[in-house]
Amino acid sequence: MKFVIVGGSIAAYTAYKTLKNIDSSFDIKVISKERFKPYSKMLLPYLIGSDELSKGLFYEVESEDIILNDKAVKIDTDSKTVKTNRGLSINYDKLFIATGAEADMPQYNGDYSDASVAVVRNIEDVEKIKRQTASCKGKNAVMVGAGLVTLEVGWALVKAGFSVIYIVRSNRILSQILDMESSEMVQKYIERNFPVKFIKESDVEFIEEKDNGVCVRLTTKKEINGCVIVVGKGVKPNVDFLEGSSIKTLNGGMDVNGYMQTNNKDAYAAGDAAAFEDVADNSKKVHPIWPVAVEQAKSAAKNMAGIKTYHMPEFSRNALPVFGITIFTGGISNKNQFDVYKASLTNEYRKIILKNGVLKGFVLIGDIGNFGAYTHIAKRKIKVGDKINKLLYGSLNINRL
């Protein structure tokens, strides 16, 4: 049996490792467009403040099992072949696609070079930010967007001695996961305690390079100077190379069933490039977080090896430990719909959303308690209408539900 894995990060590595654990003699080829062996994208923000790449960043794949610096450009599911940019044609019995996502980079008006404007998705992006900021310690860094990644990057830059200014188009920070009340609480806490400022309801109009740095003119005509601009405007699954293949996409990602199988029986997918069922709204969507990529890749690898493994529908969630505060959200968390219950203290906030007694969403800020329990009960649709106080104030024991 020959396995081909396309991708160079956690889902690709997890599938490789799982297959090797099942049978170390399996013939596996990993194709990655990266220069490096698989590494953790989640650790990238931490590298900004450190001079050396941290230990634990890379994952070991035998050199003879991996092709680096080459990318899959075409999949032919009839001949079961992957074609690469460098002209290789590799046959498979089972294919695993873990091509993840790329950061969106809007084209801004202005007069600037690529070097001054970065996203954070791979090691080269971090190297760019480090080069740009190396000569201007103590100045501003400008973040466009105040989402999960830009908050992590801003926190890393604050720890490295920078002041950070966020330009936020929406009326609140973390608008994808927080409601107005919790967003304002987090914003006030950060601005009070750190050299950080959020400029909301504003966007970039023009960028120019100036005085060894960059100057951003906002739609409000205000000008901000900084060393570097880091843009966090969302991500897009890497599925373009599937054009012309029989593998179908849905809502941006590869459409996979409960066995992580695409519509083609020999092609599997997982992680940031796969659209998988979600229990909160019964839709299929991409769940772009680390633990989901790991668990989905394990299930996919087992199924590819013939060990039938059903993967439970996901419940979207996010964990964000930044600026000394921890935020954990799940499901419908940025809206107030169905039955909403809230509790708040200084720098602490809990909100749960129930529909017919089933947990559809939550926000936990500060002491996030036994946060795994919230995902556990939401995924399994366990009725918790009689446990509202425990969900809001106490800690849950999932064995007693």
Ligand X SMILES: Cc1cc2nc3c(=O)[nH]c(=O)nc-3n(C[C@H](O)[C@H](O)[C@H](O)COP(=O)(O)OP(=O)(O)OC[C@H]3O[C@@H](n4cnc5c(N)ncnc54)[C@H](O)[C@@H]3O)c2cc1C
Residues that bind ligand X (CB under 6 A): 6-12, 31-34, 41-42, 44-45, 71-72, 98-101, 120-121, 149, 152, 238, 241, 271-273, 288-291, 293, 319
Nearest approach, Cβ of residue 308 and ligand X (Å):
23
Nearest approach, Cβ of residue 235 and ligand X (Å):
8
DSSP 47-108: HHT-SSPPTT-B----GGGEE-S--EEEEETTTTEEEETTS-EEE-SEEEE---EEE-----
Task: For ligand X, give the closer residue by CB, 202 or 238.
Answer: 238
Q: What is d(CA 253, CA 275) in angstroms, rounded to the nearest whole number?
A: 5
Task: For ligand X, give the closer residue by CB, 16 or 241.
Answer: 241
DSSP 220-232: TS-EEEES-EEE-
Nearest approach, Cβ of residue 25 and ligand X (Å):
25
What does the DSSP 8-state code read for residue 278?
B
Nearest approach, Cβ of residue 329 and ligand X (Å):
12
Task: For ligand X, give the closer residue by CB, 84 or 182.
Answer: 84
User: What are the structure tokens assigned to 225, written together?
Assistant: 């100077």
Task: For ligand X, give the closer residue by CB, 8 or 213.
Answer: 8
Work out whether the CA dihedral 186, 187, 192, 197 comes out positive or negative. positive
Task: For ligand X, give the closer residue by CB, 287 or 387.
Answer: 287
Q: How far is CA 191 from CA 141, 155, 156, in A?
A: 15, 12, 15
Nearest approach, Cβ of residue 374 and ligand X (Å):
15
Q: 379 in helix, strand or coil?
A: helix
User: What are the structure tokens assigned to 196, written together?
Assistant: 């950080």
Task: For ligand X, give the closer residue by CB, 167 or 274.
Answer: 274
Nearest approach, Cβ of residue 119 and ligand X (Å):
9
Whether residue 75 contacts residue 247, with contact meaning beta carbons closer than 8 Å, is answered with yes
